[in-house]
Structure 1
């Protein structure tokens, strides 16, 4: 890690260190670390030819692929700031991120699961005056973009890369807040490399591992715990665009995959697959997952049926560069399932409550964000004067310093591994003419872990139509944010303080 210093130099550094070892496999493409470096170099020179200046934002709105990695790493090597965009976002959500990050270049796809993202933006009428060029990765656009690389020399690119400093912003990831407005979280090169060097050590990611990456690259765990960590450790990146149990089992067998990470539902789907025993999964060495509540039995099942003897769990958030704590593979199944481990090396973790009592989880160290993008008030609220990040999550530390998460102050839901903030969904619902007021809470779900349930007060003379509201929310929000059930109430319950009593609604949602 110390040799790389910045993500801008990471592919160059990895090529020198790991050379002709396999770096990336996607479809028919198989690249060594040197070949990956050459493609990143070409993309960086093309970005410079396009007019990209140091510090300019470059967005990638596309599913996992080899070209996603090349476009992103190339932009960063040219001094750009990466802005990954969730592939499930609608045009308005993506456009808001592009405007606020001041993105000048966008890499996207013309057809992913039937969606043409470039057309989606064009048809939306969203105004993006700073966006100078949109490149569809798997069309002739990409070749046209790369053709510009001829106008920039390799020496010029290396000089640009060398000028990037460890303290410069490397990327901006957006995370929704309790106000419903997504917040941008810039992270520096040094933060990301420091955190994921420590993370890779804790989880035992090692040279020669073959890492199946179904975690989306737009997420910290796909990009940083995936692409960046693999380059640091010399592991092979094997991107997968969507989760499909048949495809995953086949990929583990054919590519001799040794590492797989994902939400508990990923492993449950593989374990319960009726044809699992027909696949050779003997290459599996390590599995990583995380959630507030993981059945201990799942840890045993992953070891027995998937073959991964090394299992880790973890906890983190975007504001902490993705990691706060890790429960390392050598711990017992009960500890792995019941806790999120101890503080990441070089960081601090404490609970804002008396010893042994639940309280808000606070963390401090080089992993904590320097501030939200253009939002000093939210920054001041999240990070106190002593540098402690107030996570909004509730937990307990045991006598060994192991963290157990018990609740969420922010009411956040985790739907199929994706964070959903009720305030954002409620805001959209209240804009519907039939809805006077709304509250969204989570309910347990066997497949997704949790789903959103909306309680709506109808406007005068109107009625709540679940089918209509389902279509309405899915038009305006990513589908994982849309509630899966809608209920009509004459009024929302309130507690003594006059606030909506979401505990009462959660109980109602849980009991059906």
Structure 2
């Protein structure tokens, strides 16, 4: 039996300030403190905290009436638009539950999510409303589909600006689905307390206050960024352009202090020949999350802009943030230390014994932001409140967490535990490899072996890529095959769809992407 795990982090988060007890209370409190300050700025215009609070109350009455009263589930497509903030908090204020809908899912996955969540109303941008109407025809008792601008504005226009009437909150504040990259998406239930506490935890970890201006360069409006800025009274600037140069220009125009983006976008920016002509004038740190950002990309951007580029770690089940790197004491490759009121431990994947600092095992977390459970059950939480994340990592002597891989992605080669992500990092050191993924395939003698799929630049051969890796890794990590592909399938947040790739390797290609494995291949001797 090993000794108990790592000592407490060297940097201890301070106590959290008091926060709202219900989700829409974040808006109400911000409006009381600074009603005339800009809350959210988007392509459609800007709205102050005071205006937002009034719109939220109107929206609450309109959507609750349409849904048949408090307690209903109302679906919302989280578009990067100020109107989305109105709908999100309006659903909560009306005593209903918001179910976040990802329009990037395939038809079957999206239909399944709607069937599980059971919304009576769906609020969606005009560009996806038609598709949702088609899919809801597959459901029993199809929900009404309301467009985010014209439809919602029309409903709200019928409501009078009467004294605010706040319905008792629904037991469930939010239903959110996991990404489904390693299995079927799970429906997660989050309470008002989960989301409000994590808003305060995130605001503290990111150093947000009333002087902050956040630049959100994301494909969708993530509740973490919305709630944390609302909690802090910080202005939010929303950038819908996928071009990082546009996002940087917008950050400079509005004197942003915090820049939020995705690893896939930041990695492309680091490799962009035009990076030398870009500068961030007022941003104090760049924050990356959703998946791992390559260390080399983070270091290049940090060196170029002269500011920290840091990562955080969270899960849908934890509302989501549990760790965040420290801009003033950043550790390359780390996702940082725990946020306030949160604990972390690493356990052996087989014996479940707690491990010492530096040893690799499954990451467990505990804190008030932990979900109430899944719609179909409580989830992997033990009797002491520890949540098994399914991620493999290690914690150093000062409490910094380094993630290694997903537990479902690591595999055994003989008696050795192999991390695909570690091999991918070596693949990306090849000068002609633009992107890469490693999955396991069956082997008669070793159990499993590593196979790689790569996006190559120029005329690099698969054999040269394989040799580059196999000369630099341990014998149990060596690649059996390397296959060149046009692209690596990813989610909107940049997470690799390993399940689709692994199914293709085992002879079951994904019917939605049948060409993903139609490539040239060279097999190792």
Given that 2:181 and 2:495 are in contact with CA atoms closer than 8 Å, whether structure 1 keeps it comes out as: no
RMSD over aligned Cα, in angstroms?
A: 3.6
TM-score (norm 2): 0.73
Q: Residue 251 of structure 2 aligns with which residue?
A: 252
Measured at CA, do residues 293 and 14 of structure 1 come closer, stay the same or move farther in structure 2, by a change above 3 Å?
Answer: closer
Structure 2's unaligned 5+ residue stretches are: 1-16, 349-354, 411-419, 425-436, 441-448, 457-487, 489-493
What are the within-5 Å matches in structure 2 for residues 100-249 of structure 1? Answer: 100-111=116-127, 117-124=128-135, 126-138=137-149, 140-150=150-160, 154-155=162-163, 157-160=164-167, 163-164=168-169, 168-176=171-179, 180-217=183-220, 222-224=222-224, 226-249=225-248
Deviation at 1:232, TM superposition (A): 0.8
Give me the whole-angstrom Cα distance separating, in 1, the residues matched to 2:394 and 2:204: 25
Deviation at 1:102, TM superposition (A): 1.5
Deviation at 1:274, TM superposition (A): 4.2
Give me the whole-angstrom Cα distance separating, in 2, the residues matched to 1:171 and 1:5: 14
Give me the whole-angstrom Cα distance separating, in 2, the residues matched to 1:405 and 1:285: 25
Structure 1's unaligned 5+ residue stretches are: 112-116, 424-438, 475-481, 490-507
Give me the whole-angstrom Cα distance separating, in 2, the residues matched to 1:213 and 1:85: 19
Q: Determine helix, strand or coil for the equivalent of 2:384.
A: coil
User: Residues 46-71 of structure 1: CA distance to partner in whole angstroms, max 9, x if unpaired?
Assistant: 11332443331111125311111111
Measured at CA, do residues 212 and 442 of structure 1 come closer, stay the same or move farther in structure 2, by a change above 3 Å?
Answer: farther
Give me the whole-angstrom Cα distance separating, in 1, the residues matched to 2:454 and 2:392: 19
Give me the whole-angstrom Cα distance separating, in 2, the residues matched to 1:31 and 1:40: 12
User: Residues 11-31 of structure 1: CA distance to partner in whole angstroms, max 9, x if unpaired?
Assistant: 111111122111111125122
Give me the whole-angstrom Cα distance separating, in 2, the residues matched to 1:3 and 1:290: 24
Aligned length, in residue pairs: 433
Give the structure, 1 or 2, with the largest relative contact order (CA under 8 Å, sep 6 or more).
Answer: 2
User: Residues 361-406 of structure 1: CA distance to partner in whole angstroms, max 9, x if unpaired?
Assistant: 1112212222111235xx2xx1122221111111112222221111
Given that 1:454 and 1:485 are in contact with CA atoms closer than 8 Å, whether structure 2 keeps it comes out as: no
Given that 1:444 and 1:451 are in contact with CA atoms closer than 8 Å, whether structure 2 keeps it comes out as: no
Q: Which residue, 362, 365, 370 being the options, matches 2:364?
A: 362
Q: Residue 21 of structure 1 aligns with which residue?
A: 37
Is 1:55 the counterpart of 2:71? The answer is: yes
Given that 1:454 and 1:483 are in contact with CA atoms closer than 8 Å, whether structure 2 keeps it comes out as: no
Q: Residue 517 of structure 2 aligns with which residue?
A: 485
Given that 2:193 and 2:369 are in contact with CA atoms closer than 8 Å, whether structure 1 keeps it comes out as: no
Give me the whole-angstrom Cα distance separating, in 2, the residues matched to 1:3 and 1:178: 33
Worse overlay, 82-91 or 270-279:
270-279
Q: Determine helix, strand or coil for the equivalent of 1:227.
A: helix
Q: Residue 57 of structure 2 aligns with which residue?
A: 41
Q: Residue 383 of structure 1 aligns with which residue?
A: 381
Give me the whole-angstrom Cα distance separating, in 2, the residues matched to 1:384 and 1:487: 45
Q: Residue 268 of structure 2 aligns with which residue?
A: 269
Q: Determine helix, strand or coil for the equivalent of 1:158.
A: coil
Given that 1:455 and 1:487 are in contact with CA atoms closer than 8 Å, whether structure 2 keeps it comes out as: no
Given that 1:14 and 1:231 are in contact with CA atoms closer than 8 Å, whether structure 2 keeps it comes out as: yes
Is 1:406 the counterpart of 2:438? The answer is: no
Give me the whole-angstrom Cα distance separating, in 1, the residues matched to 2:165 and 2:60: 10
Given that 1:49 and 1:148 are in contact with CA atoms closer than 8 Å, whether structure 2 keeps it comes out as: no
Measured at CA, do residues 282 and 133 of structure 1 come closer, stay the same or move farther in structure 2, by a change above 3 Å?
Answer: same
Measured at CA, do residues 301 and 103 of structure 1 come closer, stay the same or move farther in structure 2, by a change above 3 Å?
Answer: same
Measured at CA, do residues 262 and 143 of structure 1 come closer, stay the same or move farther in structure 2, by a change above 3 Å?
Answer: closer
Measured at CA, do residues 369 and 49 of structure 1 come closer, stay the same or move farther in structure 2, by a change above 3 Å?
Answer: closer
Deviation at 1:231, TM superposition (A): 0.7
Deviation at 1:291, TM superposition (A): 7.2
Deviation at 1:277, TM superposition (A): 5.0
Deviation at 1:313, TM superposition (A): 1.7
Measured at CA, do residues 483 and 236 of structure 1 come closer, stay the same or move farther in structure 2, by a change above 3 Å?
Answer: farther
Q: Residue 321 of structure 1 aligns with which residue?
A: 319
Given that 2:136 and 2:142 are in contact with CA atoms closer than 8 Å, whether structure 1 keeps it comes out as: no
Deviation at 1:278, TM superposition (A): 4.7
User: Residues 214-265 of structure 1: CA distance to partner in whole angstroms, max 9, x if unpaired?
Assistant: 23446xxx212x1111111111112223522232233123222221122333
Given that 2:26 and 2:196 are in contact with CA atoms closer than 8 Å, whether structure 1 keeps it comes out as: no
Give me the whole-angstrom Cα distance separating, in 1, the residues matched to 2:92 and 2:172: 10
Q: Which residue, 341, 346, 349 being the options, matches 1:346?
A: 341
TM-score (norm 1): 0.75
Give me the whole-angstrom Cα distance separating, in 1, the residues matched to 2:41 and 2:505: 51
Give me the whole-angstrom Cα distance separating, in 2, the residues matched to 1:301 and 1:173: 34
User: Residues 319-355 of structure 1: CA distance to partner in whole angstroms, max 9, x if unpaired?
Assistant: 12212222211114xx1x2222222221111111331
Q: Residue 331 of structure 1 aligns with which residue?
A: 329
Q: Residue 96 of structure 2 aligns with which residue?
A: 80
